[in-house]
Structure 1
Amino acid sequence: MAPSNRVQQNCVREDLIFDVGLHKGEDAAYYLRKGFRVVGIDANPDLIEWNRKRFAGNERITIIFGAIAEGQGNVRFFVDKQSTWGTVDPDWATRNVRLGSTHHEIEVPIFDIREAFQRWGVPYYLKLDIEGREDVIIDALAELSGRPAFISMESEKIDFRKLIHELQKLRNLGYRRFQVVPQVHIPNSSIRTRDRNGSIFNYVFEDDASGAFGDDLNGRWICFAEAAARYAFIFIQYKLFGDNGLMFRLRGGTFIHRLLMACFGAFPGWYDTHARL
């Protein structure tokens, strides 16, 4: 899939998706079914091996092993018992332990996302799910003249000011319409959509999938102010029941939170921010 020569970084490839946070290929499988080429990036070597086996022989996907982080060389990566929670961010790793998970540490190579832009160009859609380092990629986008038509990223859950700053960064890049998408109902949900050739097909999303993107989203695209207001309400729930919420300061709060998660799934839930130019 890799071109023999480097392409210009401002060249948007309409048939290309970057899946940053490949995990077990749940999203990549959907993108491939829709007819896109995929560059998938992950820092967990076990997941890299999983995907190489899963997509063996598929020439439309390139799988890259590395962690998105500042600098060069290697970085410490926390491999979490819950594979979707792997991170290079020590604060996220500490949060995961507080939520009852465990991890071990490994050293992984840093992958500079600028290298992907240089080799393959700017993707049509950029999916970011790397537990606390999405800002590194958003900052790299600011260096390019081209922009993905659509971006999605897992939303900040701790600091409301940081979340607003993320939205502002997207707005500064030219993204003016947003959707706030809850993730809890995506696994095993279905969609009727079209591939890039216009053929209609039905698709059922796997566990841990990020779901639909772009024009396939069912919700209404809203402005920056509406998105900020929606997140303000969500953050009230986070303040009470979230990872660093009031409940954890009460005696027995951790047990109650785990009970709520067992009853309702992710509680109060996590959200992705989708943005379009």
Structure 2
Amino acid sequence: MGVNDGADSAYYLSLGYRVLGIEANPALADRLKDRFARELLGQQYILLNAGIAATEGQLDFWVSDVSEWSSFNREIASRNGTPHRPVTIPTRRFASVVAEFGVPLYCKIDIEGNDRLCLTDLTLETTPSYVSIEMSHPDADDDLELLRKLGYTRYKIVSQVTRAQPIPLLMTMGYRLPTFFNRALRYSTRKAFGVGTKDGWRFQLGSSGPFGEDTPGSWHPYDHVRRTWEALRDIDARFGTRGLAEWFDIHAAR
């Protein structure tokens, strides 16, 4: 969910999976229809132009000039003074999508503000084998607790920039450097790790990368990944505007 430019969808399709994409932004949905016209015709790809919300019907959706920030939450769409505008779009409960299309092997959740609604609409009977959700810096403990109640027992936190599992101690040491060197370190990290490959597939900066058992590093129990999140949260709290300059996904497996 949150297809954006379709980079992740293209990767999943390349692996031979049948893919359901949910994209709220009508303009992006039109581009995706052109990009995946063949896959849509062959029903290997299904695209829903709708937003996941607490109710079914229609709501105003804020389309941001930074497409990744478009959201039902105007504060998210307008962060840093970014121009944005409302469009009225159809909404779906995530439970109704699962009821219509079935339980997926993997569910990627990255929808800028309504992510948790997807987890609260899952049940023990409808949980995918693998799920990822963009990590909330301040309150990911709520998402982790929901995942645990849904029966997930293995976890990873993976950087959306380096596509590696973070080492909070090293990150904290980096933020102690003078501002210039800290920024240089973070820039070089992006340049070195922002684009990766797997089995010949080239992941562009901004795509989520591999999923499931192909995600980097070892799986960890709940307590370990919660401590990792707490350490990342504390970096933000201690260093303010010099805090986490990247985002992370929480991956969970049953």
Query: TM-score scaled by structure 2?
Result: 0.82
2:198 match: 191
Please say if residues 161 and 206 of structure 2, whose CA atoms lie closer than 8 Å, have aligned partners that are also in contact. no
Please say if residues 150 and 275 of structure 1, whose CA atoms lie closer than 8 Å, have aligned partners that are also in contact. yes
2:142 match: 165
Q: CA deviation at 1:91?
A: 3.9
Q: CA deviation at 1:239?
A: 1.5
Please say if residues 62 and 87 of structure 2, whose CA atoms lie closer than 8 Å, have aligned partners that are also in contact. yes
Structure 2 CA distance for aligned equivalents of residues 234 and 151 of structure 1: 21
Structure 2 CA distance for aligned equivalents of residues 56 and 92 of structure 1: 31
2:135 match: 155
Q: CA deviation at 1:111?
A: 1.9
Structure number with the higher helix fraction is 2
Q: Which runs of 5+ in 1 are unaligned?
A: 1-19, 193-201, 248-256, 261-266
Equivalent of residue 178 in structure 1, options 152, 155, 158: 155
Question: Which string of whole-angstrom CA distances, capped at 9 and with x for unpartnered residues, describes residues 53-105 of structure 1?
Answer: 00012120001001111112211211111111111123423xx42x3422111
Alignment of 1:78 with 2:66, yes or no, is no
What is the 5 A alignment of 1:103-114?
Answer: 103-114=84-95
Equivalent of residue 92 in structure 1, options 71, 76, 80: 76
Alignment of 1:146 with 2:126, yes or no, is yes
Q: Which moved more, 1:102-111 or 1:58-67?
A: 102-111
Report the secondary structure of 2:88's partner residue: strand
Alignment of 1:275 with 2:252, yes or no, is yes
Q: Which runs of 5+ in 2 are unaligned?
A: 164-193
Alignment of 1:208 with 2:189, yes or no, is no
Question: Which string of whole-angstrom CA distances, capped at 9 and with x for unpartnered residues, describes residues 127-150 of structure 1?
Answer: 0010111111111112x5132110
1:234 match: 232
Structure 2 CA distance for aligned equivalents of residues 239 and 104 of structure 1: 31
Query: TM-score scaled by structure 1?
Result: 0.76
Structure 2 CA distance for aligned equivalents of residues 168 and 91 of structure 1: 26
Q: Which moved more, 1:118-127 or 1:99-108?
A: 99-108
Question: Which string of whole-angstrom CA distances, capped at 9 and with x for unpartnered residues, describes residues 223-246 of structure 1?
Answer: 1111111111111222245xxx4x
Please say if residues 161 and 205 of structure 2, whose CA atoms lie closer than 8 Å, have aligned partners that are also in contact. no
Structure 2 CA distance for aligned equivalents of residues 240 and 41 of structure 1: 36
Q: CA deviation at 1:47?
A: 0.6
Structure 2 CA distance for aligned equivalents of residues 106 and 178 of structure 1: 36
Q: Kindly tell me: are residues 109 and 146 of structure 1, through their superposed partners in 2, closer, same or farther at Cα, counting changes over 3 Å?
A: closer
Structure 2 CA distance for aligned equivalents of residues 191 and 176 of structure 1: 26
Alignment of 1:136 with 2:124, yes or no, is no
Question: Alignment RMSD, CA only?
Answer: 1.7
2:220 match: 222
Please say if residues 238 and 268 of structure 1, whose CA atoms lie closer than 8 Å, have aligned partners that are also in contact. no
Structure 2 CA distance for aligned equivalents of residues 177 and 274 of structure 1: 8
